[in-house]
A and B are shown apart, each in its own frame.
Chain A
Amino acid sequence: MATHESTYRPTSSIGKWMDARLPVARMMHAQFVDFPTPRNINYLWTTGGLLSFFLGVQIVTGIVLAMHFAPTAADAFNSVEHIRRDVNYGWLMRNLHAVGASMFFLAVYIHIGRGLYYGSYKAPREVLWIIGVVILLLMMATAFMGYSLPWGQMSFWAVTVITNLFSSVDSIIPGLGTRIVQWLWGGYSVSGTTLTRFYSLHYLLPFVIAGAVGLHIWALHVAGQNNPTGLEIKTASDSVPMTPYAVMKDGFALAVFVLLFAWFVFYVPDYLGHPDNYVEANPLSTPPHIVPEWYFLPYYAILRAIPNKLLGVIAMFSSILLLVFIPWLDTSRVRSAKYRPVYKWFFWLFIISVVALGYLGSKPPEGAYVLWARIFTVYYFLHFLVIMPIVGVTENPLPLPRSIAESVLGKSGQPVGVGAPAAPERR
């Protein structure tokens, strides 16, 4: 962990007794109270706290739902309706859990976008970044398996389509792909057996995520937080203690985000869902238009943009795995895109591509939609594989401030635009 003077002083006799035996309070104090945070971090740095909050919401509401849910093909669909109608506050738990998943992904995409813009993946934060990619993959697996549990038409056919991705291995080693898919299903088609095992894993994975989050925070507290300048903390004037400064900021952002969450939960809980999922799963009829949840749409668009099954699957998985290699694909000496006049534009083009792919993923795979999906898919990969390495070398970055403090206070050491320190308030 980063070395700094801990101000932790246990005062009570129990506190002192414990501190000599298992200094948990000392560690928490060092890491979350007087931990030095850059004094210039903006609201995008509150997403980490939001994500911890939403992991907690999902685990707590999930444990409650598990008390009332029946993970069998015959009962799953009805038990979800039972939770929504009969169980005391079941509607609330179900809405918090279903909408919470969307909020979780919204926050994680902002979090990843912030990391990309400010170069938070660059040395010495490569391992921190890679653990983040692992968490993203775990979140996707958990969300996918969770979506199967209500056992509606979309649940069933999403499971069918996504597990069938592995059958593309058949075009490399004939028969192996089919073996893998039957192993995942526990049969020759998606069935109640599949539902039950997904339920078991859906309960397990959030705790694996919690473990990975622990490592993520550990790695963060070794390297220290990045910030909008991309500079490291060099002197005491570059940082402020995490409590109260960063914690208050996190708290305010959380309150705002929870308002959005609450609006969905209380007013439009099904807005982010799909009507077909309120029809019970029917293995003999595919809905005419299968779409995944909104947070998977860009990847789904990439899958469908490529007319070859194996290559489509490879492109879809690589679009996420590519993130692992970004620390080495970005050749720039400067972290933050704030000081990268050329790369900045490509970054926004990348964001536009991802949003466009999300839109195209929700449309049927025909005509102009396919063409545009191909164009944006090409840009998605070009951005990382060609533009990042080349622009990093050719671009002339803007001059960096000498320190974090200078970027905030100006060269005089006074706050920018303020003549004198504020006088004590008088009433």
Chain B
Amino acid sequence: MQREADLASHTAEGPSRRDFIVIAAQAFAGVGAALALWPFIHQMNPDASTQALASTEVDLSPVKEGQAITVVWRGKPVFIRNRTPEEIKKAAEVKISELSDTSARNDDLPEKAPATDLNRTKKGHENWLVLVGICTHLGCIPKGQSLSDSRGDFGGWFCPCHGSHYDTAGRIRKGPAPRNLEVPPYAFMSDTKIKIG
């Protein structure tokens, strides 16, 4: 009888020492379990050998005006187009307010840089447009590299998967893609050679 009264008073009095110990033990075990889980999650991230394939050098001399080549960087296709003066003019004339994504999406520039044609290229090499050739919608490879391809309504690239149109600066102009094609980090080693990554 005495014991039952003790038990009843414990529950009535609110948190006891035992409640505290139980909660502390559960929290300890919970944090431990979460920490033990991390290696099992992190093992799926890109491994050291994948990260090591970071840069690619490309010789641009064989690419004539109006032509384009595709190279591979980090397993992704990179579009390099030697643009014609008309294509550059067309891209430069577009006002920022007409664009659906106003960020330059240039890995060498801050996020806030506006998507002008100049910000999408390198100074003194405005004819060269270098882009990661992956549609920002769901990752298809847009058409437009070969001269026989459909280049969409804006003369740049057209993604056949879900109908995104990019202009001659690789900016999204129409369709479901949310962003301009990414400009990867790259630098001119000489007038005819670039290093991507």
Which A residues lie at the B interface, using CB under 8 A? 157, 160-165, 167-168, 170-171, 182-189, 191, 193, 197, 283-286, 288-290, 304, 306-310, 312, 364-366
Q: Does B189 contact A (CB under 8 A)?
A: no
Give every chain B residue within 8 A of A185 (Cβ-Cβ). 46
* A171-B178, A304-B162, A310-B178 known; A161 vs B140 contact (CB < 8 Å): yes
Bound-state Cα–Cα, A286 to B141, Å: 6
B44 near A283 (CB under 8 angstroms)?
no
Q: Does B19 contact A (CB under 8 A)?
A: no
Sample of 15 A–B contacts (CB below 8 Å) = A167-B139, A183-B44, A183-B45, A186-B44, A187-B50, A187-B74, A188-B50, A189-B134, A191-B75, A197-B44, A284-B70, A284-B77, A309-B138, A364-B160, A364-B163
Give every chain A residue within 8 A of B178 (Cβ-Cβ). 168, 170-171, 308-310
Q: Does B85 contact A (CB under 8 A)?
A: no
Give every chain B residue within 8 A of A366 (Cβ-Cβ). 163
B176 near A290 (CB under 8 angstroms)?
no
Q: A165's closest neighbor in chain B, by CB?
A: B138
Residues of chain B from 32 to 76 with CB closer than 8 A to chain A in the complex = 41, 44-47, 50, 70, 72, 74-76
Q: Which 5 A-B pairs have the closest CB atoms?
A: A164-B139, A189-B75, A188-B74, A164-B138, A161-B138
Bound-state Cα–Cα, A364 to B139, Å: 17
Give every chain B residue within 8 A of A171 (Cβ-Cβ). 178
B161 near A161 (CB under 8 angstroms)?
yes
- Of B44, B50, B140, B177, which one neighbours A286 at CB under 8 angstroms? B140
- Of A284, A286, A310, which one neighbours B160 at CB under 8 angstroms? A286
Give every chain A residue within 8 A of B75 (Cβ-Cβ). 187-189, 191, 283
Bound-state Cα–Cα, A187 to B52, Å: 11
What's the nearest-Cβ distance from chain A to residue B37, in Å? 14
Bound-state Cα–Cα, A171 to B134, Å: 17
Q: Does B137 contact A (CB under 8 A)?
A: yes
Q: A191's closest neighbor in chain B, by CB?
A: B75
What's the nearest-Cβ distance from chain A to residue B173, in Å? 13
B176 near A309 (CB under 8 angstroms)?
yes
14 additional A-B pairs beyond A304-B176, A364-B160, A365-B163, beta carbons within 8 Å, are A157-B161, A160-B140, A162-B138, A164-B139, A165-B138, A187-B75, A188-B50, A284-B72, A286-B141, A289-B160, A308-B176, A309-B137, A310-B178, A365-B162
Q: B133's closest neighbor in chain A, by CB?
A: A284
Q: B42's closest neighbor in chain A, by CB?
A: A183
Bound-state Cα–Cα, A401 to B68, Å: 74
Give every chain B residue within 8 A of A285 (Cβ-Cβ). 141
Give every chain A residue within 8 A of B137 (Cβ-Cβ). 164, 309
Give every chain A residue within 8 A of B161 (Cβ-Cβ). 157, 161, 286, 290
Bound-state Cα–Cα, A240 to B176, Å: 56
Q: B134's closest neighbor in chain A, by CB?
A: A189
Q: A366's closest neighbor in chain B, by CB?
A: B163
B77 near A312 (CB under 8 angstroms)?
no
What's the nearest-Cβ distance from chain A to residue B8, in Å? 35
Give every chain A residue within 8 A of B46 (Cβ-Cβ). 182, 185-188
Bound-state Cα–Cα, A306 to B162, Å: 11
Bound-state Cα–Cα, A304 to B75, Å: 27
Give every chain B residue within 8 A of A184 (Cβ-Cβ). 44
Residues of chain B from 70 to 95 with CB closer than 8 A to chain A in the complex = 70, 72, 74-77
What's the nearest-Cβ distance from chain A to residue B70, in Å? 6
A186 near B176 (CB under 8 angstroms)?
no
Bound-state Cα–Cα, A168 to B137, Å: 8
What's the nearest-Cβ distance from chain A to residue B38, in Å? 12
Bound-state Cα–Cα, A307 to B177, Å: 8
**For B70, B162, B177, which residue has the most chain A Cβ atoms within 10 angstroms?**
B162
Give every chain A residue within 8 A of B177 (Cβ-Cβ). 309
Give every chain A residue within 8 A of B74 (Cβ-Cβ). 187-189
Residues of chain B from 155 to 197 with CB closer than 8 A to chain A in the complex = 159-163, 175-178
A186 near B140 (CB under 8 angstroms)?
no
Bound-state Cα–Cα, A364 to B162, Å: 8
Give every chain A residue within 8 A of B44 (Cβ-Cβ). 183-184, 186, 197
B47 near A188 (CB under 8 angstroms)?
no
- Of B50, B72, B143, which one neighbours A186 at CB under 8 angstroms? B50
Give every chain B residue within 8 A of A284 (Cβ-Cβ). 70, 72, 77, 141
What's the nearest-Cβ distance from chain A to residue B3, in Å? 37
Give every chain B residue within 8 A of A289 (Cβ-Cβ). 160
What's the nearest-Cβ distance from chain A to residue B32, in Å? 23
Give every chain A residue within 8 A of B72 (Cβ-Cβ). 284
Bound-state Cα–Cα, A288 to B158, Å: 11
Bound-state Cα–Cα, A286 to B175, Å: 18
What's the nearest-Cβ distance from chain A to residue B88, in Å? 26
Bound-state Cα–Cα, A50 to B196, Å: 55
Give every chain B residue within 8 A of A160 (Cβ-Cβ). 138-140
What's the nearest-Cβ distance from chain B to residue A137, in Å? 20
Residues of chain B from 93 to 139 with CB closer than 8 A to chain A in the complex = 134, 137-139
Give every chain B residue within 8 A of A364 (Cβ-Cβ). 160, 163
Give every chain B residue within 8 A of A286 (Cβ-Cβ). 140-141, 159-161
What's the nearest-Cβ distance from chain A to residue B177, in Å? 7
Q: A162's closest neighbor in chain B, by CB?
A: B138
What's the nearest-Cβ distance from chain A to residue B160, in Å? 5
B176 near A189 (CB under 8 angstroms)?
no
A312 near B176 (CB under 8 angstroms)?
yes
Bound-state Cα–Cα, A74 to B87, Å: 40
What's the nearest-Cβ distance from chain A to residue B136, in Å? 8
**For A186, A188, A306, A364, which residue has the most chain B Cβ atoms within 10 angstroms?**
A188
Bound-state Cα–Cα, A170 to B138, Å: 12
Q: A282's closest neighbor in chain B, by CB?
A: B141
